[in-house]
Structures are given as structure tokens and as C-alpha cells.
Amino acid sequence: MGDSFYPSLGNEGYDVVHYDIDLDVEPSSNTLEAVVTLTAVATDDLGRFNLDFHGLDVETVTVDGIQAEFSREGYEMTVWPAAAISSSTPFTVAVSYSGTPQPIADPGVPFATLGWHSDNGVIYTVSQPSGAMTWYPNNNHPTDKATFTFQITVPDGVTAAATGLLTDEASADGKTTTTWHMDDPMATYLAAIYIGDFERHEQRLNSGVLIRDYVPRGSDPSIREALAITPEAMSFLEEILGPYPFEAYGTIVVPFPLGFALENQTLSVHGPLLLQPEIIAHELAHQWMGNSVTVDDWSQIWLHEGFATYLGLMFDADLSGQSIESVMANWHRQLAFSRTSPPGDIEIHELFDFNTVYLRGALTLHALRTHTGDDVFFNILRTHYDHTAGGTTNTEIFLGIVDDLAGPDAVSVVESWLYEPEMPGIESGPSL
Ligand SMILES: [Zn+2]
């Protein structure tokens, strides 16, 4: 796809419309048998095409039900359909495979391995940016979003959870299959599944959104108490960005330390020590900025993390009665002291750099707010979201909206925060 940081992720020549992911998982041995069917449309005449897929043993590949030749090199799987596919034609690819998925190293995430993990009988996935290809074959770039169905078969008594709405549960021969639908477009890295001993707790909000959380069975009540803030955080964010974008939301808390939280679409994963209101609101904010709207190139990640960080800090400040001005002034002092580099011009290893991308990204938005005042600032956030919801964005699109609604001086303020090596000061604004 030509991503600045991951040029070989994603493939040209087709658009995936839907993934049907059917996994039969044996947690005790961490093995699976799977059939994944992609429905796609050719955007070019295709004599062959590639999928991104790492490891596992591929048994067969069919295209429109007819067996196809395939070869594998690294995470590139090349498929030769029996007959060439003409441009604009829909087609299906079914891949049957089995084995034990192996997590991968990603140069953007030096602090963790990505993809499918098994830890003390719990199977969990954390895939941003590249890990999705460790457990299902796909077109691994956020510019090719698709809808998803998950069918997860596990031994009776084991809980399976996935991104989307749970629509069916059936048992036979000592195994239980749950079916999940994600009917809104989703980037490959935002698909996730979890298998283990979890309790499901659900509530329906007045807005109609279903909240379903998963916590380790028998876990300390403080975990559910921490998650109880979610509806309030959702109301806070809906005031700013508009209605929550999906049919469901929830948090799955894993029963072991996880050094981060991750905003899987409709089902964020958190470690048990990362349930502070700011972090819950941060992952929830990503459902708008990151999931419904996703960057079209990984170098633009500040548009996910700067927004989610700022909105999380705003929620926390509101909750604790602090002023956002003093919170941001404190962060500004700390970052200035540590000479934080600009979030608009990062290298791949800085993708999730907390100071550069998260905090200076959040300060970029705060500086814009200070320059424009609240009315214009929140209009910019809402307009940008409405303009890009369900699709992708980048800094140029965002700056175009800043220009339209606040003029070139406001663009200059944002650009100085995004690109100048020295961190700018925060001006004293008109309305704060
Ligand atoms: Zn984030």
C-alpha cells in the first residue's frame, strides 16, 4: 500500500468488503483450526494477488470455490486463482489453516510483541499496527476497512469474546460456538478476540448502545467499580464529538499485567492496573478518533493519540474539578524540560512515544483551542469527525478544516506544534 512506515503492509489490486473469520481454538494447547473467507472486489485485472499472513500452516486456498495455487514468503502470501479476475468483479478467497499463532516484533512497538498471545490459559490479541496477520490472512492496512463476522469455537465452559455484537451462541459435542458481527467498517488491526475464564456484564444505555464488559471470573470488585465510569465518559465524549459511532462498547480486563490498553473496535483491552478514568476515556475516545476515523498512513498517528490523550485529560480534569488549562500547563512545562520532538514529523520507533505523539499531540490541540476559543475549536473537532467518520483522515485534511473554520493563523499555530523542533509556548487565549 506504500505506507511511509510499513510500505509492504497491505496489498494493491482489490478492496476487501467482508471478513468471515471462523476459528476453532483449543486454549490448553494454544492451537487453532481456521477457515477465513474474504469477500473482495478487484480494483484491477488480477492474475494473482497477495494477502498478509504470518506463520501457521495453510492447507488450502480457494477463489470463488475453486482451488488456487499459493506461495508464501515472509508475511506475503501470493494467490494464483485458476482463472484471472477482471477489474470491478467481486470474488471470495477462503483460506484454511491450522497451528499455533506466533506473535511478531514490530519496529513501531519496541515495548511489546504483537498479534496473538497465550498467557496462563488466556488467549488475547493486541494487533496495532501489524499484528492482525499473525492470526488471520488479510489486507493489513487501515485504508482497506471491511465488515467482519467472527465464529469462535472453544471448549464448553470457556468464554470467548470478540469485537462486534454477539448474535449467536450454540453448543455441540463439548464445544461452544459464539458468533459476532461487526457491521461497521473496521481496520484489520482493530479486530480482536479473547478466550479464557471471563464473566460478561452488560447494560443497555438510554442511547441504545450496549455496554458489555468482560472481567476475569472472581476478580476483585474494584475492577467492575472502575469500569462503571464508562457511561459517564461516553456522555462526555458524545457532547463533544456526537453520538457514539458503534452499536456496542465494552472493556475486557485481562487477569495479568499488561503495560498498555488498546482500543479494539467496540472492545478495548486493559490490564487490571490501567483502569483510571483518564485511560478509560482515552480508549473510548479512540472509538471516534482512531476507529471510526482512522489515519490513512501510520506516520499520522498523532491524530489518534493526540486526540484521545487530550479528550481523556479533559474528562479526567472535569471529573476531578481541575482546570484543563492548569493540567496542560503542567504537561507543557514537563515536556519543555525534556526537549520533546514534534509529533508531525516522527520516525517509526516514535509511533507510540508518549511525550512526542501523545502529550505534544494533545498540547497541539490545546494550543489550537487557546488560539481559537472554545466555540471554534469544538466546531473544528466535530466538523473533522463528521467529515471523515467511517473512513480515513490525515493531517492535511485536518488542517484544511482548521483553515476553513479558523483561518491561516490557526493553521500556523498547529503547524508550529506539529513540525517545529523547539516546542512553542502556549499563548494566552481569548476565552479560557
Ligand atoms: Zn491511544
| CB-based contact 179:166 (threshold 8 Å) | yes
Q: Which pLDDT value is given to residue 136? A: 98
pLDDT for 431 equals 43
CA 289 – ligand 1 centroid, Å: 9
Ligand 1 centroid distance, CA of 391 (Å): 18
pLDDT at 107 over 70: yes
Share of the chain above pLDDT 70, in %: 99
What CATH number has the domain spanning 197-284? Answer: 3.30.2010.30
Q: Check residue 372 and give its pLDDT.
A: 97
Task: Give 309 Cα–ligand 1 centroid separation in angstroms.
Answer: 7
Q: Residue 432 — pLDDT band, cuts 50, 70, 90?
A: very low
Q: Give the distance (Å) from ligand 1 centre to CA of residue 263.
A: 7
- Could you report the per-residue pLDDT of 265-322, keeping only the tens digit for each? 999 999 999 999 999 999 999 999 999 999 999 999 999 999 999 999 999 999 999 9
User: Across all residues in the chain, what is the average pLDDT?
Assistant: 97
> What are the CA-CA distances from residue 132 to residues 54, 105, 277 (Å)?
9, 12, 28
| Whether 13 contacts 80, CB under 8 Å | no
Residue 113 Cα to ligand 1 midpoint, Å, equals 17
Is the model's pLDDT at 430 over the cut of 70?
no
Q: Which CATH superfamily is domain 1-193 in?
A: tricorn interacting facor f3 domain (2.60.40.1730)
162 within 8 A of 150, measured Cβ to Cβ: yes
CATH number 1.10.390.10 given to 294-419: yes
Tell me the mean pLDDT in the region 249-273. 96
23, pLDDT greater than 90: yes
Taking the centre of ligand 1 as the mean of its atom positions, its distance from the CA of residue 403, in whole angstroms, is 26
Question: Is the per-residue pLDDT at 38 higher than 60?
Answer: yes
* Ligand 1 centre distance from Cα of residue 306 (Å): 8
Ligand 1 centre from 179 Cα, in Å? 28
* pLDDT at 172 exceeding the cut of 90: yes
Ligand 1 centroid to residue 413 C-alpha, Å: 23
pTM for the model stands at: 0.97
Q: Is 63 helix (H, G, I), strand (E, B) or coil?
A: strand
- The residues spanned by each domain of the chain are 1-193, 197-284, 294-419
Q: Compute the distance from residue 93 Cα to the ligand 1 centre, in Å.
A: 33
200-211 confidence digits (pLDDT tens): 999 999 999 999
Domain 294-419 in the same topology as domain 197-284: no
Residue 248 pLDDT > 70: yes
Mean pLDDT of 210-215: 98
Q: Whole-angstrom Cα distance, residue 157 to residue 105?
A: 33
Å from CA of 174 to ligand 1 middle = 39
